[in-house]
């Protein structure tokens, strides 16, 4: 179940990232509050050409408008992520996966354990054979933060931009101060998740990319059968 939800989540996130880039290109300006348009001062913006002629970017041309398919793909992938995330959460709580695999062990609940793990990561130390098949305390804390803080906020801010959802539950967006605030936070959380994925893939490469990916697909690698 963990492997299946991992790969479905990966595909959904790739679709979200590709379509999200096009949505940013259609309006590369970010605001704070409920309303935001080309006449509103931007909180920050990207110096890139837009796919909308009405967006002032300083360029004398606009990119092809791909906003239609990107919105459909973005929301379809988002609902897949919500459903698969809910399934993973229920499984993790019922099966004890979070307790056994992610929550820090008693021996790791000290500053010395965290600092030792941090030093190993900064030195890009290749883990020992047994360590490569379990999470150290820094990895456990990071995954807990992603699973229970970053991802829920990522999904929540995404839902806050859906008119259908906010019409039924206005609090979803008002808690952030408005739809534009939710969009800005959603973008910043996306950057945080992309950074996490880059570090995650880098650590997988360090631990042995081929074996780890094989284990994440089949559950078995070089004689080791682990619930990864």
pLDDT value at 180 more than 50? yes
Query: Which of the two residues, 189 and 127, has the higher pLDDT score?
Result: 189
15: which 2 tokens? 């679709």
Query: Which of the two residues, 110 and 168, has the higher pLDDT score?
Result: 168
Domain that holds residue 51: 2-225
pLDDT tens track for 78-110:
999 999 999 999 999 999 888 887 887 665 656
Say which range, 22-26, 51-55, 101-105, has the weakest mean pLDDT. Answer: 101-105
Is the separation of the CB atoms in 49 and 59 below 8 Å? yes
CATH number of the domain that residue 133 is part of: 1.20.950.20
154: which 2 tokens? 């990522």
pLDDT value at 227 more than 50? no
Phi, psi (rounded to 5 degrees) for 127: -70, 155
CA 40 to chain centre: 29
Q: Is 96 helix (H, G, I), strand (E, B) or coil?
A: coil
How far from 81 is each of 8, 147, 216, CA to CA, in Å?
8, 12, 19
Is the separation of the CB atoms in 91 and 1 below 8 Å? yes
pLDDT value at 144 more than 80? yes
* Residue among 78, 87, 29, 15 at smallest CA distance from 58: 29
* Per-residue pLDDT, 138: 78
Residue range 34-45: average pLDDT? 92
* Per-residue pLDDT, 225: 47
Cβ neighbours for 24, distance < 8 A, ≥ 6 positions apart? 46, 187
Neighbours of 16 (CB within 10 A): 23
Residue range 113-117: average pLDDT? 61
The total number of structural domains in the chain stands at 1
pTM of the model: 0.82
Say which range, 60-64, 110-114, 173-177, has the weakest mean pLDDT. Answer: 110-114
* 144-153, long-range: CB < 8 A, 24+ apart: 144/98, 144/102, 144/103, 146/193, 146/196, 147/89, 147/92, 147/98, 147/102, 150/189, 150/192, 150/193, 150/196, 151/85, 151/193, 153/185, 153/189
Is the separation of the CB atoms in 56 and 8 below 8 Å? no
Rounded CA gap, 171 and 192, in Å?
Answer: 25
Computed over every residue of the chain, the mean pLDDT equals 85
pLDDT classification of 212: cutoffs 50, 70, 90 = confident
pLDDT value at 206 more than 50? yes
């Amino acid at each position: 179940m963990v492997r299946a939800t991992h790969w479905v989540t990966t595909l959904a996130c790739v679709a979200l990232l590709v379509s999200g880039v096009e949505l940013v290109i259609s309006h590369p300006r970010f605001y704070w509050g409920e309303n935001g348009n080309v006449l509103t001062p931007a909180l920050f913006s990207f110096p890139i050409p837009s796919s909308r002629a009405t967006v002032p970017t300083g360029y004398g041309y606009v990119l092809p408008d791909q906003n239609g398919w990107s919105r459909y793909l973005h929301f379809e992938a988002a609902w897949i992520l919500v459903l698969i995330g809910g399934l993973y959460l229920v499984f993790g709580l019922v099966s004890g996966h979070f307790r056994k695999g992610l929550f820090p062990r008693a021996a790791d609940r000290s500053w010395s354990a965290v600092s030792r793990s941090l030093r190993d990561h900064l030195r890009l130390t290749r883990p020992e054979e047994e360590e490569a098949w379990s999470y150290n305390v820094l990895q456990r804390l990071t995954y807990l933060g992603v699973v229970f803080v970053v991802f829920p906020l990522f999904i929540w801010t995404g839902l806050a931009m859906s008119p259908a959802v906010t019409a039924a539950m206005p609090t979803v967006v008002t808690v952030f101060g408005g739809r534009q605030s939710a969009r800005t936070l959603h973008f910043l959380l996306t950057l945080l998740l992309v950074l996490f994925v880059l570090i995650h893939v880098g650590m997988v490469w360090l631990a042995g990319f081929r074996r780890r990916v094989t284990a994440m697909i089949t559950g078995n690698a070089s004689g080791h059968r682990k619930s990864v």
